[in-house]
Amino acid sequence: MRSDIVKELKSVTAEGNIRTREDMGKHTTFRTGGCADVFVTPQSVTEAADIVRLLLAREAKYMVIGNGSNLLVSDNGYSGCIVCMGSAVGDITVSGNVITAGAGALLSKVANAAYESGLTGLEFASGIPGTLGGAVVMNAGAYGSEMKDVITSVTMLDADNGQTVIFTGEDMKFGYRTSIVKNHPLIVLEAQITLDEGNKEEIKERMDELARRRKEKQPLEFPSAGSTFKRPEGYFAGKLIEDAGLKGFSVGGAEVSEKHCGFVVNKGGATASDIIELIKKVRLTVNEKFGVLLEPEVVILGEDIDK
């Protein structure tokens, strides 16, 4: 499959944008994991759509990723094509109080563009390490705000028919760490964010305040995928994990952070298997002690943790 797909991909993107046996540890914030058979980086929104259409037409296995900030690839790797929406698919434009940005735009850069334009409402996203596309898919949020509060339209590729579609914010069916994209074959290409006019000094103060809070409470000094588990209804994942006596618990180079138990971190040299085994242990222990089955927020590619 690899040689055939690579040959065909060269018809829609430059050869330099296509790699084989690509180490996914370079493309995930956990900084570990196996290799992808094929790895391609589109250079525009149009090119991204063309690449996915080609893969669909060939019925090739593929996955679209952004900054890899919510992703763990198993040590066995991925036997398909990874389409990475990077900065080349991340143009940001501001018109009035509306920001239009490509799926590959880093959320921090979109938030900074809002600040520079004196627009308020996206301060919460300034410290989220992912891309806009990933943030839309999972309705990323922090400090009481979520993407659903600011997204007004999303341009996507419908993988069923290869057509481009535009959904309103309401159409996206945003929920806690989910959206319509989670259950339908849709690929985010671009999104519009509508904000309010604000005071630049106050916007900057809020962004700086949230940055301080993150630094104080989160283990930013180690590779991780942010919050490892979703917040279970009526509980906080980190507190359940701490109360289960798992603070600092480790498997190989993977550890339940001593700074914030809601984070599994790579203390150095952790394999994807170490992290997966640790996640399984945490889920089992918390379920046995409190009857709460934690659901991972991080996407694990190549292994089913329920098995």
| Interacting residues of 269 by C-beta distance below 8 A, sequence separation 6+ | 252, 253
- Residue 14 CA to its chain's centroid (Å): 26
Average pLDDT of the residues in 187-213: 97
Mean pLDDT of the chain: 95
pLDDT at 241 over 60: yes
In the block, tokens 């959206």 appear at 179
pLDDT at 303 over 90: no
Average pLDDT of the residues in 203-225: 96
pLDDT at 163 over 80: yes
Whether 224 is a known active-site residue: answer no
> What is the C-alpha to C-alpha distance for residues 196 and 63, in angstroms, rounded to an integer?
35
CB 42 within 8 A of CB 51: yes
The string of pLDDT tens digits covering residues 266-284 is 999 999 999 999 999 999 9
Catalytic residue among 22, 47, 123, 297: 297
Catalytic residue among 22, 126, 177, 255: 177
Whether 59 is a known active-site residue: answer no
Q: What is residue 2's predicted lDDT score, i.e. its pLDDT? A: 67
> Binning pLDDT at 50, 70 and 90, where does residue 305 land?
confident
Catalytic residue among 69, 227, 257, 273: 227
Q: What is residue 171's predicted lDDT score, i.e. its pLDDT? A: 97
The string of pLDDT tens digits covering residues 24-75 is 999 999 999 999 999 999 999 999 999 999 999 999 999 999 999 999 999 9
Indicate the pTM of the whole model. 0.92
Whether 297 is a known active-site residue: answer yes
pLDDT at 1 over 70: no
The string of pLDDT tens digits covering residues 145-158 is 999 999 999 999 99
Crossing angle of helices 107-116 and 200-217, in 10° steps, is 150
Residue 95, strand partner residues: 98
pLDDT at 3 over 80: no
Q: What percent of the chain has pLDDT over 70?
A: 99
Residue 188, strand partner residues: 156
What beta strand segments (E) does the chain contain? 18-23, 35-40, 62-65, 71-73, 78-84, 92-95, 98-102, 119-120, 141-142, 145-146, 151-158, 163-168, 186-194, 196-197, 250-251, 254-256, 264-266, 299-301
Q: What is residue 302's predicted lDDT score, i.e. its pLDDT? A: 87
pLDDT at 108 over 60: yes
Query: What domains does the chain contain, in order, with CATH numbers?
Result: 2-86 (3.30.43.10), 90-216 (3.30.465.10), 219-301 (3.90.78.10)
Q: What percent of the chain has pLDDT over 90?
A: 95
In the block, tokens 């949230």 appear at 210
